Amino acid sequence: MVKFGGTSLATAAQFKKAAAIVREEEARHYVVVSAPGKRNKEDIKVTDLFIKATEEGQFDSMMIKIITRFRSIVRGLGLDFDLDSEIDRIRNTYRDGAGEDYLVSRGEYLAAKIMAAYLGYDFVDAEEMILFDEKGDLQYKETVARIATVMDPHDNAVVPGFYGKDTEGRIRTFSRGGSDITGALVAAAVKGDVYENWTDVSGLLMADPGIVRNPLTVPVITYKELREITARGTEVMHEDAVYPVRKVGIPVNIRNTDKPEEAGTLIVKNADYYPSILKISGISGETGHASIMVEKDRLNADSDIRTKLLQVFAQEEITVNSMLAGVDTLNVLVDEEQVKGRKRELSEKLRTAIDADKVSITDGLATIAIVSRHMAVSPGVSVRILTALAAEQINVKLLDYGVDGISMLIGIEENNFREAIKAIYSEFVKK
Ligand code: ASP
């Protein structure tokens, strides 16, 4: 199962690269495509053109842009493809009230039709097999069963990503970036050997390239580790695309269409079979955090007190990112934005709710998450992290050793952020 993202299909030349990848390996049977993406930084994705076309008075001018883009792809591929009839059909169906999701999904539809024609593969429409309920939520089990049945007679096929049909027969889309989910569902349903996700990067980087120069690509990572990394804001693929393949244990391989010679990142259930030279799988971090420290005698022994505190957070609509409990202290990590301009008022509320001895709120914090499946099983990983920071005179203000033993969260002052990431990276990668 092979999926290509929007930048991998942005031009005829990119289509050719993608097709060459498919043809190179006989085992690449099924292809899921996104809509053509940006050709350069200033460009607009085809999906965004369609979204704009749904706005009042924008339809005709946006359609001209969309047609121009697809025409240049069809011409560049030297294909005999009846684009005009397809466009007429889209125009009429939309005018007849097919809905906004229908129009927005047509980038994937056209890309898949063109790719199928170019490869000589069957076109199988996602609307036949990706099933949503009337609220627009995916019907998971039904979808997987249906894909298996529909795909069965096809040896090779191209399927448009991003959309399906609801119980009322209307086209519905996933959230943005949702072609990844289609790919994962097809991979799971056809019991693929691997789900190759071809994009414009060579996989997941060990650290932010804006901080560490030329960081290494993570060679192998587990689904669990990936979850930790994406929860901290590093985007790899759509969050909901992990579940279907993880459930059945199909590995995901993130690859770069422009550098097919690179192995990319392999995401697996169990990494024991892969030699691992590095003891960590990734470092991700964020600035803009605050910690709220509440002190009261026997605070954590009394569950009533803790409940009352959490109620205050709920009432004030403050999301708790992480929570550390001591004997008499509870330290809660939140986004700085949530306490901005209301530190005093919030402290007072928390203090009176439980008659606390002290409440202090510190902002200007950064958090760094180090993800490592070796953390709890290999002695020394956490010590090395802390030693690397100590060597740079960086004070650790807060430390959370993840409950599942595969990550460590560190709170430091924001002005140490970049240095801290560099120090940890050097310790594990450069050494
Ligand atoms: N074309 C859709 C988007 O831009 C879906 C996708 O590319 O996965 O979000």
Give DSSP secondary structure letters for 245-263.
HHHHT--EEEEETT-TTS-
Residue 221: the pLDDT is 93
**How far apart, in whole angstroms, are the C-alpha atoms of residue 151 and residue 157?**
8
Atom of ligand 1 nearest to the CA of 238: 8
Residue 347 has pLDDT above 90, yes or no: yes
**Radius of gyration in angstroms for the set of CA atoms belonging to the chain, rounded to a whole number:** 25
**How far apart, in whole angstroms, are the C-alpha atoms of residue 285 and residue 368?**
4
Residues forming beta bridges with residue 322, ordered by sequence position: 333
What is the pLDDT of the chain when averaged over all its residues? 94
Atom of ligand 1 nearest to the CA of 162: 5
pLDDT digits over 113-170, tens only?
Answer: 999 999 999 999 999 999 999 999 999 999 999 999 999 999 999 999 999 999 999 9
Q: Give whole-number Cα distances, 343 to 360, 390, 424, in Å.
A: 9, 30, 32
Residue 186 has pLDDT above 80, yes or no: yes
Residue 301: the pLDDT is 83
pLDDT confidence of 272, banded at 50, 70, 90?
Answer: confident
113 CA → ligand 1 middle, Å: 16
Confidence (pTM)? 0.87
Residue 403: the pLDDT is 73
Secondary structure element (H or E) that encloses residue 86, with its range: helix 83-95
| Intra-chain end-to-end CA distance of the chain, in Å | 37
Cβ of 179 below 6 Å from ligand 1:
yes
pLDDT (average), residues 56-85: 97
CATH of domain 2-200: 3.40.1160.10
Nearest CA to ligand 1 atom 6: 177
Cβ of 178 below 6 Å from ligand 1:
yes
List the structure tokens of 42: 């200033």
Which sequence spans correspond to the domains of the chain? Answer: 2-200, 282-428
pLDDT confidence of 229, banded at 50, 70, 90?
Answer: confident
Atom of ligand 1 nearest to the CA of 177: 8
169: closest CA among 138, 132, 197, 224?
132
Atom of ligand 1 nearest to the CA of 182: 8
Cβ of 251 below 6 Å from ligand 1:
no
108 CA → ligand 1 middle, Å: 8
pLDDT (average), residues 338-361: 94
Beta carbons of 83 and 70 less than 8 angstroms apart: yes
pLDDT confidence of 322, banded at 50, 70, 90?
Answer: confident
Pick among 3.30.450.20, 1.20.1090.10, 3.40.50.880, 3.30.2130.10: CATH of 282-428 = 3.30.2130.10
253 CA → ligand 1 middle, Å: 19
